[in-house]
Each structure stands twice: as structure tokens, then as C-alpha cells.
Amino acid sequence: MMLAERHTRQALERLREQTREAGRHVRSEETHERERRLAGEARQRVLDDLASHLQKLEQSATANGARVHRAETAQEANRIIIALMRERGAFEALRNRAPLLDEIALDEAAAVNRIALTRVHPGDFLVALSETTPQHPIWPAIHLRLADVSETMQARLRVPATFDVHILDSHVRSRTRAAFFSAKTAILGLQFAVAESGALVCLDNDGHNANLMAQAEHLICVMSIEQVVTSSADLHILIKAYAFGAWAAPMPAYTAQILGPTRMEGRGPDIDLVIVDNNRTRALAEGFEEALRCIQCGACHTACPVFRQIAISGYSPDPRRVPPYSGPIGAVLNPLLLRPGVASEQPFLSTDCGACNKACPVDIDLTGLLQRQRVRLAPNISRERTLLWLWRRMLKRPRLFTRFLRAIAHLR
């Protein structure tokens, strides 16, 4: 585990204070308890009968004119996305900010297939420009100081040196806006998809999703199986939950929704919907259903005292290969969704203080899940420890070590 840089830790502490203060003005404790119970129930309604809600979504999205594809794995999801782009001869696309696109490693797949992918979320844009890693699911550029941003923009975009936030911001926005007008394909990681109407929904506080939906000729929407929502009524509850968790706000600044070409009298973009499983069915079978209630709002990250010290980089020794999810929920999800053995130490990075439980707007018992994940992963950890112990003992006995190497060579 590695501490985040001092200014990142300070920024995360400030974010904690600001969201706590703003949250007090939006909800009383009593209201928060009531709202999160309602939101938790809305998520549970879907998980109770996931297969039939997904089937319903498939039918309504198809009736709206979208093409629906199912992907068992991250690799399959990327194969489908790349094939959809090839079908149209497209070699560039815009993408929004969505953890699922990081989970399937879309950027890497695009690079291998020579597809230019541009991130249009302003924070993501800056992170890509500075060649660093997003440090928070909602505030990806929280680790960048004004001086860093100014220097990078001066070097990479030839923007005159300035510490004026508004000038720097307008330069970023003029670049991302230009991208909106030029790209024909957009890849959108969705927040929710409504089973009863087939509405595909993205939430943000800068409008980049609405711009993508309005400008692109072809939308490739990507969602994981649990992101389906039963009805518009549940969607309303969950939009409020997301806004409160992400920005301590009563509602998001932008809610972008799109139905499909049939419902828009042929005026909208062509839509492909890719529904990804990637080990979620297995996680459900293993009894981790509650983890799939998560709406990726980032509230547990900001509330977690460990995360505020280590940020995302602390979850990986290699800053170029950070796991897609972080914070308390990441410590539960990563070992379930990624390759066995990857991220298996993460559930142990917790003090069990329960701050995440109180912050979660969909009422997830994160400490309970973390404890179960530790029990589940303990055999792996003790096996690794035993192997390490044997290895150390062998290194102290050169003759035994030589014999071991010979045996390996012989077996090869």
C-alpha cells in the first residue's frame, strides 16, 4: 500500500468536508435514512428477478429501434464494440466517463485496433493530457494542482501560462466541444437503463453525455447486467440517490436520456446496446448480490479514511495498472470481477470503521461485504504465505535451491 501525495490527501479531505457540509443542506439525517432505504429497495427489486428485467429491457430497447448485444466477458464486449465500429468504417470515437469502460479495458482494446478514443469529460481529458491516473470515480483530476494543469496545458496545448481557472477551463471546454462536432461515433457507459421503457440514461454535472447523445450519428451504449432499473418511478429514486452520493446535490445538473430511432421518428442516432456480464452472474451465485446494488456514486470513497490517505494509486503497486474500482466497494467488486488473484489484498485495506455504510445512498452494508470477502480470500492469502515461507527457507539452503532449479529444468 502506498500513501497518496500530500496535496491529493489534502484535496480529498477538503472534498469530504465540502460534501458533508453541502449534504447537510440537502437532506436531514432522517430524510437521508428514508431516501437510502427507498433507493436500496429499488436496487433490490431488480436483483430479485434480474433475468426477467433484462429480458424486458431487451424487448423495449429493440422496440425502440436499438440493436441489443450480450457479452459474457470483457473481451467479448470489446470484440462487439470494435466490430460495430468496423461495420461502419469508423476509426475514431468519443467516450464518456464510466467505470465499466475502464473495467473492460476499452482504451487498450481500441489502441490495439488502431481506433482513436477521446475522453470528453473535462477531468478525464486533463488526466489523459497529464498522463496520470484518475484518482476518484467522480473527481478524476482531484490529484492535479492548478500549477500542474497550467504547466501541462502550456506544454501540450500551447496555452499561455496562467493560473486563472476560468481561462484554463475555457481552453479545455473549447477542445472537448470541437471533438463533439467532429466525431460520428460515441461510446457511452450508461448509468441506468429502464426495463419498462428502454430509456438509456447517463448522469453528469457538465453535460458531456447529453452532448454526445445529441451530436453522434452512432451511439454504442454499454451497461453491465445489474444497471437495469425496473421502472421510471425507480429511476427517479435512483437518480436522486446518485446525485446525493456523487455531488451532495438534490438532483444531477444533467440527466441525459435517449430512447431509440423508432421513438424519435428516425431523427436520432443509431443505437447499439451492449449488455456485459463479466463475472457478475458468478458473483450473484456466490452470494454477493448486495455488492451489485452499487450505482458507482463514489460516496463511500470520499467517506473512507483509508481511501482519503491512499486514493486510487494506493490500491496498486503499478500506477499504470490500477484496478477499475477503488475505495470500499472496489475492494469488494475487484476480486469478484477480475482474474482470480488480482486485487485479493484489497479487502484487507479497511479499518471497519463503518463510515462507508453510513455514506452509501443505496444502503449497502459495505463492512459486512468486506468481512465476507476477507473470509472468501483468506485461503488464497494463506496459500501465498505458505509458498513464500517455503521459498525463503529454500533460499537459505543453496544446495537445496540448486536441486530445486535442476528439478524445474528437468521437468521443462
Q: How far is the CB of 287 from ligand SF4 (least distance, A)?
A: 17
Radius of gyration, alpha carbons of the chain? 23
Q: Single out the segment in contact with ligand SF4 by CB under 6 A; choices: 120-128, 185-193, 196-204, 294-302.
A: 294-302
Say if CB 235 and CB 229 are below 8 A apart.
yes
- Shortest CB 286 distance to ligand SF4, Å: 18
H-helix or E-strand containing 28?
none
Q: Which of 296, 316, 326, 346 binds ligand SF4 (CB under 6 A)?
A: 296
- The residue whose grid cell reads 521443462 is 412
Q: Does 294 bind ligand SF4 (CB under 6 A)?
A: yes
98 lies in the binding site for ligand SF4 (CB under 6 A): no
Q: What is the 3-state composition of the chain as percent helix, strand, coil, each rounded to the nearest 5?
A: 55, 10, 30
Could you tell me which of 249, 260, 138, 264 has the C-alpha nearest to residue 193? 260
Binding part of the chain for ligand SF4, among 95-103, 167-175, 298-306, 384-392 by CB under 6 A, reads 298-306
Q: Is 202 left (phi over 0), alpha (psi -120 to 50) or beta?
A: beta
Q: Which stretch binds ligand SF4 (CB under 6 A): 167-175, 217-225, 291-299, 371-379?
A: 291-299
Q: Among residue numbers 158 through 217, which ones bind ligand SF4 (CB under 6 A)?
A: none
Of 81, 104, 129, 297, which one interacts with ligand SF4 (CB under 6 A)?
Answer: 297
The H or E element that residue 136 is part of is none
Q: Which stretch binds ligand SF4 (CB under 6 A): 71-79, 261-269, 281-289, 297-305?
A: 297-305
Number of Cβ atoms within 10 Å of the Cβ of 321:
9
Phi and psi of 256, rounded to 5°? -100, 125
Which of 127, 362, 370, 377 forms a contact with ligand SF4 (CB under 6 A)? 362
Would you count residue 298 as binding ligand SF4 (CB under 6 A)? Answer: yes
8-state DSSP, 286: T
Nearer to ligand SF4, 80 or 294 (CB): 294
From candidates 106, 229, 360, 370, binder to ligand SF4 by CB under 6 A: 360
Instruction: Specify the 3-state DSSP secondary structure of 205.
Output: coil
Determine, following the binding rule CB under 6 A, whether residue 299 of this chain makes contact with ligand SF4: yes
- Residue 398, phi-psi category: left (phi > 0), alpha (psi -120 to 50), beta (remainder): alpha
DSSP 342: T
Binds ligand SF4 (CB under 6 A): choice among 26, 77, 359, 377: 359
Say whether residue 256 binds ligand SF4 (CB under 6 A): no
Distance CA 48, CA 46 (A): 5
Which residue in 82, 300, 322, 355 binds ligand SF4 (CB under 6 A)? 300
Residue 152 burial (CB count, 10 A): 18
CB of 251 to ligand SF4, least distance (A): 16
For residue 203, the minimal CB distance to ligand SF4 (Å) is 13
Pairing of strands 116-119, 92-95: parallel
In angstroms, give the least distance from the CB of 52 to ligand SF4. 24
The residue (of 56 and 372) whose beta carbon lies closer to ligand SF4 is 372
Q: Are 241 and 361 in contact (CB under 8 A)?
A: yes
Stretch that binds ligand SF4, among 2-10, 192-200, 289-297, 313-321 (CB under 6 A): 289-297
377 contacts 331 by C-beta, under 8 angstroms: no
Using CB under 6 A as the criterion, which residues of the chain lie in contact with ligand SF4 when the complex forms?
245, 294-300, 329, 359-360, 362, 364, 366
